[in-house]
Structure 1
Amino acid sequence: MKAYVFPGQGAQFSGMGKELYDNSPKAKELFEKANQLLGFDITKIMFEGTDEELKQTKVTQPAIFLHSTILAAVLGDDFKPDMVAGHSLGELSALVANGTLSFEDGLMLVYKRALAMQKACEAEPSTMAAILGLEDEVVEQICATIDGIVVPANYNCPGQLVISGAIPAVEEACTKLTEAGAKRALILQVGGAFHSPLMEPAREELAAAIEATTFNVPTCPVYQNVNAKGVTDPEEIKKNLVAQLTAPVKWTQIMQQMIADGATEVVEVGPGKVLQGLFKKVDRAFPVSSAEI
């Protein structure tokens, strides 16, 4: 069984999608449609933008979504997923890939999500930090002792957990986690505290947008971030997608569940190879590759 996975924020790079645009008429058509829908020239930023421009949440999220979904679209008959999943933002790419959302609806939801998250980030100074080399339970316990908001946000792979919250609370947690034996506790260069209670205003905004969007019955299960289970019911998919903004990304559990459910190979669709590396941390021998036209 073939699993297709879609990356999230952090995979962007200048020049992303240019090869697709130049080599596929279908890709070019979809990129131009995206420029019209968004009301600005996102392809120009993707192809020529600086790292600083690409790092803005309102650019990063649609850019990665476009790279992933357009690549999946031009794979044509080669693209036959038995299961899909996406890391954080990547879940929306996965939902277009398995037919739950149309390309247009997916893009507009991603853009609304990005704007809502950026607004929430600006409302309160917040950050995230990668914790390496500690058991998940230890990180959870120490976060629970900190005065202030700091929570586990991304369970990326065994021994790698990202925490998220208010800046003083995250800094204090990093100090305590280092004392507890973490190999590294590294503050990340991100816009704010994604997948934490500080994203509540964004969650409310996104809930209204999701409610107004048509969700179809998918062609295969999507393994969702909030519960790490394969889901095919459109109403449940909606509910989990809303909850995702303030809940942790259970990527470790998704990888383990996909393998348990019969995945025999994983193909990453979009920029970078981050998700392939994470699968290798779960099972070094597991076959992983990048989608290519």
Structure 2
Amino acid sequence: MKAYIFPGQGAQFTGMGLDLYEKYPVAQELFESANEILGFSITDIMFEGSAEDLKQTKVTQPAIFLHSVVLGKVMGDGFKPDMVAGHSLGEFSALVANGSLNFEDGLKLVSQRATAMQKACELKPGTMAAVLGLEDPIVEKICSEIPGIVVPANYNCPGQLVISGEVEAIKLACEKLKEAGARRALVLPVGGAFHSPLMEPAREQLAAAIKNTNFKAPTCPIYQNVNASAVTEPDDIQMNLISQLTAPVRWTQSVQKMARDGAGFFVEVGPGKVLQGLVKKIHPEAEVASAEIG
């Protein structure tokens, strides 16, 4: 079975999507439509902006969503997932891919999500850190013992977990994790504590927007970040999407479950190849590939 997977923040690069825009009329239509919906020329930033321009949350999230969705559309009849999943932001691209969301609603939600997260970061400053070389239960235990807010945020693959929370709590956690034998515990250059309780203001703001958006029955299951399980009910999809902002991304568990449910071939749809690398570490027998277009 074929699983289509969609990347999240961090996969952006200068010039992203330009080849698609120049080659495919359907891509051009979607990009121009996005400029109108967003109220600014995201294509100018994607095609010609600097890495710094692309790093702004209000740009990064719609840009990656756009690249992924457009790539899926230009694949035409070759786009036939048996199941989908997305890493954090990528969950919105996955929901357009399986028909739960239409393109316009997906883009509007991603834009609102980016704005809400940016506001939450300004309200409650925080950060994240990558922890390498420790088993998940050890990281979880150490986080639970640190004063202040620090929680597991991204279960990326075995031996690679990202933690999130208050700046001082993260620094202290990094010291303790190194003492416990972590190969690395490195504070990341991010704007806030994503997938932690510090994102509660963003979750509340996004909840209203998600509840007011029409979600349809999908053409195939989505394995959502929050529960790492196949979901097909629109109401459940909405609730999981709302919970996602303050809950961890269970990517390791999602890939394991997809593999148990029959996925042997994982196609990454969007910029970069990060997810393919993670899948190979989680499920070495899997075949992985980037989306192919004609």
- Aligned-pair CA distance for 1:283: 2.5
Give the structure 1 partner of residue 79 of structure 2: 79
The alpha carbon displacement at 1:125 in A equals 1.7
TM-superposed deviation, 1:74: 1.0
Find the aligned partners of 2:190 and 2:73 in 1 and give their Cα distance: 29
Task: Give the RMSD, CA atoms, in angstroms.
Answer: 0.5
Q: Distance in 2 between matches of 1:99 and 1:191?
A: 31
In the TM superposition, residue 154 of structure 1 has moved relative to its aligned partner by 0.2
Aligned partner of 2:223 in structure 1 is 223
Query: 1:285: how far off?
Result: 3.1
1:109-188 to structure 2, matched below 5 A, reads 109-188=109-188
AA in 2 matched with 1:202: A
TM superposition shift of 1:34:
0.2
CA distance in 1, matches of 2:49, 2:162: 28
2:198 equivalent in structure 1: 198
Q: Give me the whole-angstrom Cα distance separating, in 1, the residues matched to 2:126 and 2:51.
A: 21
- Conservation of the 8 A alpha-carbon contact between 2:256 and 2:283: no
Identify which range, 279-288 or 253-262, moves more after superposition: 279-288
Give, in angstroms, the shift of residue 166 of structure 1. Answer: 0.5
Note the C-alpha offset of 1:202. 0.2
**How far does residue 124 in structure 1 lie from its aligned partner after superposition?**
1.8
Name the CA distance, whole Å, in 2 between partners of 1:125 and 1:116.
14
Query: Is the contact between residue 14 and residue 49 of structure 2 (CA under 8 Å) also seen in structure 1?
Result: yes
Percent of counterpart pairs with the same letter? 71
- 2:13 corresponding residue in structure 1: 13
Once the two structures are superposed, what CA deviation does each residue of 1:235-255 show, in whole Å capped at 9, x if it has no partner?
000000000000000000000
Letter of the structure 2 residue corresponding to residue 42 of structure 1: I
The alpha carbon displacement at 1:41 in A equals 0.2
Displacement over 3 Å in runs of 4+: none
Q: How far, CA to CA, are the matches of 1:94 and 1:125 in structure 2?
A: 29
Residues 161-200 of structure 1, C-alpha deviations (whole Å, 9 max, x = no match): 0000010000000000000000000111111000000000
Aligned residues: 293
Report the Cα distance in structure 1 between the residues aligned to 2:161 and 2:22, rounded to whole angstroms: 38
Aligned match of 2:241:
241
Q: Structure 1 residue 95 and structure 2 residue 95: aligned?
A: yes
- One-letter code aligned to 2:19: E
Unaligned 5+ runs, structure 2: none
DSSP 3-state at the match of 1:164: strand
Which residue in the other structure is 1:45 paired with?
Answer: 45
Q: Which amino acid aligns with 2:214?
A: T
What SS does the aligned partner of 2:46 have? Answer: helix
Name the amino acid aligned to 1:87.
H
Please give the TM-score of this superposition, normalised by the length of structure 2: 0.99
Cα offset, 1:282, TM superposition: 1.5
Counterpart of 2:268 in structure 1 is 268
